[in-house]
């Protein structure tokens, strides 16, 4: 069983997210993880400059209550999102939210950012599309740990990632509209 933190909101494959305030959440890097806090912050900043689809990056900080090497755990602080259940909304609203999501995702791709984790791998617990949240502002993306920037991976690999993301987007569309 993995450690639970006070005020924990969720846990992904590698990191826990805790509530810091009504407007802020922190992704903890307490254990040795696959993801790199600096790289994740850079990708969030990049995406935030394009549009508001990716959760907003606020700062890097230390989560003092966490006993990571007795000095607190490094954390990525981001806006706190409040997810809503999309099944409570009419088909017409879902269609509109999905159209906006597609447009914003296309803008990110054009700018050189690909999320790469719209649908979780089947061996990771949770709902298949846990990284896409419906909020009062529309559909939003979280967890940019395996995202990629064209400038970092080159055109060929970036193009392959985008093509794969388009397949996952079609699966999400069916999930979102048909449930």
By C-alpha distance, which of 47, 76, 38 is closest to 59? Answer: 76
Kindly state whether residues 74 and 130 are assigned to the same domain.
no
Kindly state whether residues 32 and 97 are assigned to the same domain.
no
Kindly state whether residues 58 and 95 are assigned to the same domain.
no
102 against 71, higher pLDDT: 102
Kindly state whether residues 60 and 106 are assigned to the same domain.
no
* Range(s) of the domain holding residue 167: 86-178
Kindly state whether residues 125 and 161 are assigned to the same domain.
yes
| CB distance 29 to 37 below 8 Å | yes
By C-alpha distance, which of 36, 30, 34, 37 is closest to 63? Answer: 30
The answer to whether residue 1 is domain-embedded is no
CATH number at residue 170: 1.10.510.10
66 against 142, higher pLDDT: 142
What is the count of structural domains for the chain? 2
pLDDT at 179: 84
pLDDT tens, position by position, 116-173: 989 866 555 567 788 999 999 999 999 898 999 999 999 999 999 999 999 999 999 9
CATH number at residue 61: 3.30.200
Q: How far is CA 60 from the centre of its chain?
A: 16
Among residues 36, 52, 79, the one where a domain terminates is 79
Among residues 28, 58, 79, the one where a domain terminates is 79
Whole-prediction pTM value? 0.89
pLDDT at 125: 59
The DSSP annotation for the chain comes to -----TTEEEE-SS-EEEE-SSSEEEEE--S--SS-HHHHHHHHHHHHHH-SSBPPEEEEEEETTS-STTS-EEEEEEEPP--B-GGGS-HHHHHHHHHHHHHHHHHHHHHTEE---SS--TTS-S-TTTTEEEETTEEEE---TT-EEHHHH-HHHHHHHHHHHHHHHHHHHHHHHH-
| CB distance 12 to 143 below 8 Å | yes
pLDDT at 70: 58
């Amino acid at each position: 069983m993995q450690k639970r933190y006070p005020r924990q909101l969720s846990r992904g494959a590698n990191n826990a997210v805790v509530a810091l305030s009504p407007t802020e959440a922190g992704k903890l890097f307490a254990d040795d993880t696959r993801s790199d806090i600096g790289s994740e912050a850079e990708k969030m900043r990049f995406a935030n400059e394009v549009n508001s689809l990716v959760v907003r990056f606020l700062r890097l900080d230390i989560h003092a209550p966490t006993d990571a090497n007795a000095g607190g755990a490094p954390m990525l602080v981001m806006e706190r999102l409040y997810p809503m259940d999309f099944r409570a909304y009419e088909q017409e609203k879902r269609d509109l939210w999905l159209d906006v999501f597609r447009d914003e995702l296309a803008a990110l791709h054009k700018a050189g950012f690909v999320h790469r984790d719209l649908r979780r791998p089947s061996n990771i617990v949770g709902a298949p599309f846990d990284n896409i949240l419906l909020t009062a502002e529309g559909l939003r993306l979280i967890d940019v740990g395996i995202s990629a920037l064209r400038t970092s991976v080159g055109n060929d690999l970036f193009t392959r990632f985008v093509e794969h993301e388009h397949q996952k987007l079609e699966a999400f569309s069916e999930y979102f509209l048909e449930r």
